[in-house]
Structure 1
Amino acid sequence: MSRAERYANLAGVVVPFAGVLIAIVLLWNSWVDWIDLAIFAVMYLATAIGVTVGFHRLLTHRSFGVDPWLERTFARMGQLSVEGSVLDWVADHRKHHAHTDVEGDPHSPHVGHGSGLSGLWHAHTGWLMETQGQADWKKYARDLYEDPKMKAIGRHFPAYVVASLLIPTVTGYVLHGFTWEGALRGYIWGGLVRIFLVHHVTWSVNSVCHYFGSRRFDIEDKSTNVAWLALPSLGESWHHNHHAFPRSAKHGLKPWEIDLSALFISGLAKVGLARDVVVIAPERQEAKELAREKVPA
């Protein structure tokens, strides 16, 4: 990782955190209203769906299919999350699945950086200064690497970072009556605070969901399901289920396991925008559960 890449990632961690500190002051002074919260909510959902549905379930695992124009739309939405270019994100995540919780995993809390808090720190944030974006595109994301339009989207990632902050800023400026105060509030709530929360929810899947939580299936890695993260992560925190069946479009496999991303994909399928949605039959789930029960204590 180059020094410039490391500094850019550091800024991506520090600047949104500074925005959260400013937002606390704004809340204390009642300098927030439904417009600010609506901008935050829309930006959060749009960019989080870009990550969970677009980057993850569609582009990384091919859990369902869509037309090329929609695939590229999801890639653009994912890049607005400011979690890296589409090729970097997909390659890193495929490498994670190829080496889960063993040497070569870009962000495991169990290898390479000690255990306990040091391992959790690496999995959550530390990896951004060392291994983020280092997975070989040709090896781990060849399908995207060989797509000129997808490569072009990835190449313009810096412009998406600017757009990710500019969109809520302009929206706040307009909805607050064309005032600079409104622009600042949109920038803070829809920009910095939203980026901070999307980032840390995503990173919590890397860290928390490989350390704390419950397990159901007979798999070798240390992935876990973490129920309290299900809503903010839009279903990604049923991470143990995901590692048991990586191509499943649905990570919440039990009726009570809330998975908003799966509901979104189901909605796309109902209106004809998604096809070939991968569903894991109950028999396959039971077989893997039974296999776990037979493992000696």
Structure 2
Amino acid sequence: MAEIAAPPQSQSKPLLGGKRPLAAHVSVYVFVIVPPLALLVAIPFAWGWGLGWHDVVLAVMFYVITCLGVTVGFHRYFTHGSFKTGRWVRIALAVTGSMAVQGPILHWVADHRRHHAFADREGDPHSPWLFGTGPAALLRGFWHAHLGWVLARELTNQRRFAPDLMADRDMRVVHRLFGPLTVATLALPAVLGGLLTWSGWGAVTAFFWAGLVRVAVLHHVTWSVNSICHMIGDRPFAARDRSTNVWPLAILSMGESWHNLHHADPTSARHGVRRGEIDISARVIRILELLRLAHDVRWPDAARISRFRKA
């Protein structure tokens, strides 16, 4: 794929590209509201019944696979071109990223390239700093960055921000299959839970924990990178925006919360570069490289990192 450091900046193409169909927009609300409600219901479930080891194993397994589909696939590969790979790995990354239920691939990539083009300025789809710096403005900004922007019906212009993916037949197919892949990401844990326990109740609990609850947790971890990682945290690198590092999110986000260097050097395959900064996504990319499934990886070297350090 072509290396992409930043989205096309042609001012002849508008930022927005129409609106979601009503059915798709309603489904956004469903998948924003239902999984967190499932998470709340999960608390009494966990106290004594309705939770087994098969639920935990399946939830962790599907969380890791779908989270890496977003971080390694949607983000570092498709959005920023941090490495190159072959067709089947490319399709696998697109499919597993779609199963995180964060939107079809063309929408996700267009939104994120637009975010980098206008980070924390007018035009950024989810900056928390668009409404001012007072307490009320920051509260409104946090809501907007964390969740409010997801509920907006307007779509980022894909022809401006993701023309390479629009030209890729495989990606257009995966984009259209977002609905079936959403069904699959909820149904597969239920099927596996039923088979592992050989019971209908095992299927129900796996659907709940490894389906709904897993999606809810992953949603809020990803949204926290949009909101918290632009509001509080460490800023050791010089970026032109307010991106920060938030270490408590590092494991759950697979390294995405080392957000400050990412905004200073967006195409880097590794975000956590200082001692102790665990970056699971970078490790996965390294494994792909060792297996010769990834090449031309944009690893940061000491000289490059030093250029971005604050004086």
Cα 1:131/1:57, change in 2 over 3 Å: farther
1:31, CA displacement in angstroms? 2.4
C-alpha distance in structure 2 between counterparts of 1:18 and 1:288, whole Å: 42
* 2:251 paired residue number: 231
CA shift digits 1:74-96 (9 cap, x unpaired) = 00000000000011100100000
Match of 1:62 in 2: 81
The residue type paired with residue 24 of structure 1 is I
Give the Cα–Cα distance (whole angstroms) in 1 for the partners of residues 131 and 94 of structure 2.
31
**What one-letter code is carried by the residue in structure 2 that aligns with 1:257?**
E
Whether 1:242 and 2:262 are equivalent positions in the alignment is yes
| Distance in 2 separating the partners of 1:272 and 1:287 | 30
Q: Alignment partner for residue 54 of structure 2, among 13, 27, 35?
A: 35
Q: 2:131, 2:138 within 8 Å by CA — same for their partners in 1?
A: no
TM-score by length of 2: 0.90
Secondary structure at the residue paired with 2:85?
coil
Give the alignment partner of residue 138 of structure 2, picking from 106, 116, 126. Answer: 116
Offset, 1:56 = 0.3
| Pairing partner for 2:71 from 52, 59, 83 | 52
Q: Quick check: 2:79–2:112 contact (8 Å CA) kept in 1?
A: yes
Distance in 2 between residues matched to 1:103 and 1:131, nearest whole Å: 18
Larger mean Cα displacement after TM superposition, 255-264 or 21-30: 21-30
Counterpart selection for 2:166 from 142, 145, 148:
145
Is the CA contact 1:106–1:131 (under 8 Å) kept in the aligned structure 2?
Answer: no
Q: Is the 8 A contact 1:103 1:112 kept in 2?
A: no
Alignment map for 1:254-293 (pairs within 5 Å):
254-289=274-309, 292-293=310-311
How far is the alpha carbon of 1:112 from its aligned partner?
Answer: 4.6
> 1:84 — aligned with what?
103
Output the CA distance in 1 between the equivalents of 2:307 and 2:271.
17
Pairwise CA distance, 1:22: 2.5
Match of 1:203?
A: 223
For residues 30 and 183 of structure 1, the distance between their equivalents in structure 2, rounded to whole angstroms, comes to 14
Aligned-partner Cα distance in 1 for 2:149–2:127: 9
| SS of residue matched to 1:88 | helix
* Contact in 1 for aligned 2:258/2:271 (Cα 8 Å): yes
Alignment of 1:121-132 (within 5 A): 121-130=143-152
* Structure 1 outlier segments of 4+, above 3 Å: 1-6
Q: What is the aligned counterpart of 1:72 among 77, 84, 91?
A: 91
SS across alignment from 2:276: coil
Distance 2:276 2:37 in 1: 36
Residue identity opposite 1:122 in structure 2:
H
| Contact 1:176-1:182 at 8 Å conserved across structures | yes
- Tell me the equivalent position of 1:104: 123
Distance 1:131 1:221, change over 3 A: farther
Identity of aligned residues (%): 43
Shift of 1:17: 1.2
Find the aligned partners of 1:268 and 1:194 in 2 and give their Cα distance: 25
TM norm structure 1: 0.94
Once residues 252 and 158 of structure 1 are traced to their aligned partners in structure 2, the CA distance between those partners, rounded to angstroms, is: 33
Superposition deviation, residue 115 in structure 1:
2.6
- CA offset at residue 148 of structure 1? 1.2
Equivalent residue, structure 1, for 2:4? none
For the 8 Å contact 2:83–2:296, the answer to whether it is kept is: yes
| 2:114 corresponding residue in structure 1 | 95
Residue 116 of structure 1: how far off its partner (Å): 1.4
In structure 2, give the amino acid aligned to 1:217: F
Of the candidates 162, 172, 176, which is equivalent to residue 193 of structure 2?
A: 172
The answer to whether the 8 Å contact 1:6/1:128 transfers is no
2:70–2:97 Cα contact (<8 Å) kept = yes
Q: 2 CA distance for matches of 1:112 and 1:80?
A: 33
Once residues 226 and 196 of structure 1 are traced to their aligned partners in structure 2, the CA distance between those partners, rounded to angstroms, is 20
Unaligned runs of 5+ in 2: 1-18
